[in-house]
Amino acid sequence: MPNSALLLSAILAYVLATFLVFRNSANKDDRALTLSFVFAAVAWALHSSYAYILSEIGNNLNFSLSSMITLVSAMLIAVFLLACIGMPIKRLGILVYPLTVASLAFAYFWSSDPSYLSSATSEIGRTSPAFKAHILISLLSYALLTIAAIQALLYAYLESKIKSRTSPALLAALPPLETMEQLLFRLVGVGFILLSFTLISGALFSQEIFGQPFEFKHHTVLAVLGWLVFGTLLYKRFAQGLRGSKAVMWTIGGFLLIQLGYFGTKIISESLNLQ
């Protein structure tokens, strides 16, 4: 199947990019790091083509779990590659690329009931440009906050290694902790702004479609809680100078709430419809 060939080719290119990042961390081979970026860009092109094909059901957008995971991971890689151009974060690919491969594998093997997808997309599937912009902003905010969560985990790992006075190869290959911390808050800040736009535009569409701006559903409540967590994190950063492991905990907590709010509820709902 041509679609499967696209997906498998993208996965192979991501695996090669991961191997090259690892080689750079082990041998300090800058050519390997540059080549990993090239392979990742090729993988993203194949990945995006597959996501585009998967994202439509007739004239409707495909809101299935498989489609959304594929789209979000493509957006995540796009944001990451663009950030690599201006920031020293190419070596984060050693976490970002395998995560993307795992996401694509999960999306490929997860099946969705076509009749359920048709009913799920019937009300808003024939989307206006404004609704497509809402979807794009929501995916972009999720991608930025995902990279922030990965950055937070790596920051915590390196901080623990420094405290224990060990020097893994990855420690020497990455920017100083202070630079990584600044990057973390920059990612969270932009992601929070986009998440705010997502919630506002979502409320407007909810009012238009369902007659009320806020529905007390699991994904909505968890998304708002995630927004509050990230908002509190940024307030504590600028008002109280929050940093280090406490900032990492707030970042991971907010990300998990958003993750559960969307993908967690979709896994449950699609599982119930497939039974």
DSSP code of residue 173: H
Each residue of 211-269: pLDDT tens digit?
555 666 677 788 889 999 999 999 999 998 888 889 999 999 999 998 887 765 555 55
Name the strand (E) or helix (H) holding 261.
none
Higher pLDDT, 204 or 44: 44
Is residue 177 within 8 A of residue 107, CB to CB? The reply is: no
Report in angstroms the alpha-carbon separations of 115 from 57, 62, 63, 91: 11, 12, 12, 43
CA distance 215 to 175: 43
pTM: 0.75
List, as one string, the DSSP characters of 133-171: HHHHHHHHHHHHHHHHHHHHHHHHHHHHHHHTT---HHH
State mean pLDDT over 139-148. 86
Give the whole-number percent of the chain exceeding pLDDT 90.
28
Is a pLDDT exceeding 80 seen at residue 38? yes
The first and second tokens of residue 181, run together, are: 């911390």
Domain boundaries, the chain: 1-120, 128-275
pLDDT at 166: 65
- Ramachandran quadrant class, 215 (left: phi over 0; alpha: psi -120 to 50; beta: rest): beta
Q: Which residues, 6 or more positions from 221, have their beta carbon under 8 angstroms from its beta carbon?
A: 261
Is the pLDDT confidence value at 77 over 90?
A: yes
Return the H-helix or E-strand segment holding 57.
strand 56-57
Q: How many CB atoms lie within 10 A of CB 177?
A: 15
> What pLDDT is recorded for position 167?
59
Question: Cβ-count burial of 273 within 10 angstroms (0-12 exposed, 13-18 middle, 19+ buried)?
Answer: middle
Among 133, 145, 261, smallest CA distance to 197 is for: 133
**Please, is 45 exposed, middle or buried when counting C-beta atoms within 10 Å of its C-beta (0-12, 13-18, 19+)?**
middle
Write down the pLDDT at residue 100: 93
What is the structure's pLDDT at 44?
Answer: 96
